[in-house]
Amino acid sequence: MKIGHFSFSSFGGAGKVASSLHQYQLEKGFDSSFFSLNTENLSSNPLRYPLLTSLAIADKYVVGKKSNPSMFSFLRNRHSFKRIVSKISDVDVVHLHWIPGIIKIGDLQIRSVRRQKFFWSIHDMWPFTGGCHYAGSCTKFQEKCSSCPQVNFGFKTQIEKEFDKKFFHLNFLRNRMTLVFPSKFIEKKAKESKILSDFHSVVIANPVKIMSQSTLSSKNYFEVRPPNNNSIVLGLVAGDLSEKRKNVLELISWWQRYFNELQSNVSILLIGNNGSFAQRVKGVTVMSGIKESENMNEVYSAMSLHISLSREETFGYSIVESGLMGVPSICYSHTAQSELVSDHETGFVINKIDELKPLLTELLPRKDFIYRTGINAKKKYELNFSQSTIGDKYLDLYTSST
């Protein structure tokens, strides 16, 4: 059985999943290949693929509205790399990950052969929309993506046509493709869509690297955060702190409202790029440029609690990564991230930002409870999200699917 993983890059959430599964399958003796462009995102080396870069820029500044909070892939959907597309027909198991810009949807129909099985790990909403990767409150993807609110007027009709083309090409693979969702949250969204509603699907979480290189990873919680320390360090991690769906501004606004009441007991630590808007806010520390996993270990260990206020994540890497360091998370209910957290057992779930202050007031005198909650999270995540646990689930899926 020849397995082929196809993803734009080994960078980012989708790339990490593809790379992890590929490496595990090699270790288990399977004939696995990973086909991608590079090990970074497009903006890291824009001149390497100038045409694709131009299309991505046009998607952002010509197709998409200036106020568009989400990545939009429309023009780049018409671009593919022959050297990657040609590999589709060479493998028995075609496992797709994040493909805009490297494989056109129509290529799947043209290159498929009878013996093949298709699997698609759905990492965002793009596979079942006319082009957006996150739809926000918009529900137009359920029917036709008519009058798309994320694009300029001149492209609205074209987005509808793109939606129809995607439906047509994927319908050809309807009985041969299994969709894999990292959460029930994104599966529900896809099942509401016209494009993917009738596909066979399963929910398998993403594998997360069990980070243990850091010298801090073997330390006891109280060695890093002494119990006699009365303050709580509330940490938030995002690749791009300015991205609207991460809701960092909501946290900052909340903090400024309660700063005078909480400043002696709570501080905010923001980890990620493009956080200059928060650098002058009292009680907030912004750290950027952290890439190595062992350094992230130390960052997570500097937190008392990790928080994510995003409502559109399809999984929740930072929830699991912080938990693996014994740091419990706070997140919103009714999100993919809340599927990872058992309230007051492995973390804390809130319905709205106004519930954050009462929760912190409850937890401030209970550092031992925070510690136990973090230990529970660590045990749960080590058991459920390791490379071997998730890797075996995928191998079982490959062999059991008809």
Give the pLDDT of residue 222.
Answer: 42
* E strands present in 190-262: 200-203, 232-240
* Mean local confidence (pLDDT), 333-352: 97
Give the closest residue to 309 by CA, choosing from 255, 365, 364. Answer: 255
Contacts of 82 (CB under 8 A, 6+ apart): none
Query: For position 211, what pLDDT does the model report?
Result: 57
What are the beta bridge partners of residue 64? Answer: 151
Is 102 in a helix, a strand, or coil? coil
Q: Is the pLDDT of residue 209 over 70?
A: yes
The neighbour count for residue 288, using CB atoms within 10 Å, is 13
CB atoms within 10 A of CB 334: 11
CB 100 within 8 A of CB 14: no
Q: Is residue 104 predicted with pLDDT exceeding 70?
A: yes
pLDDT the model gives residue 363: 94
pLDDT one-digit tens code per residue, 210-249: 654 444 444 444 444 544 456 899 999 998 899 888 999 9
Residue 177: pLDDT above 90?
Answer: yes
Kindly report, as residue ranges, where domains of CATH 3.40.50.2000 are found in the chain. Answer: 215-384
Bridge partners, residue 329, by sequence = 306, 347
What average pLDDT score do residues 79-89 get?
93
User: What percent of the chain is predicted at pLDDT more than 70?
Assistant: 93
* CATH label, 2-207+387-400, candidates 3.90.550, 3.40.50, 1.10.3470, 3.40.1800: 3.40.50
> Whose CA is closest to 276, among 260, 289, 267?
289
Longest dimension (CA), the chain: 66
Residue 381 or residue 294, greater confidence? 381
Q: What is the pLDDT of residue 113?
A: 85
CA gap 350, 343 in Å, rounded: 9
Q: 215-384, superfamily in CATH?
A: Glycogen Phosphorylase B; (3.40.50.2000)
The whole-number average pLDDT for the span 301-314 is: 92
Average pLDDT, the chain: 90
Neighbours of 306 (CB within 10 A): 28
**pLDDT band at 47, cuts 50/70/90?**
confident
Q: How far apart are CA 244 and CA 249, in angstroms?
A: 8
pTM of the predicted structure, to 2 decimals: 0.90
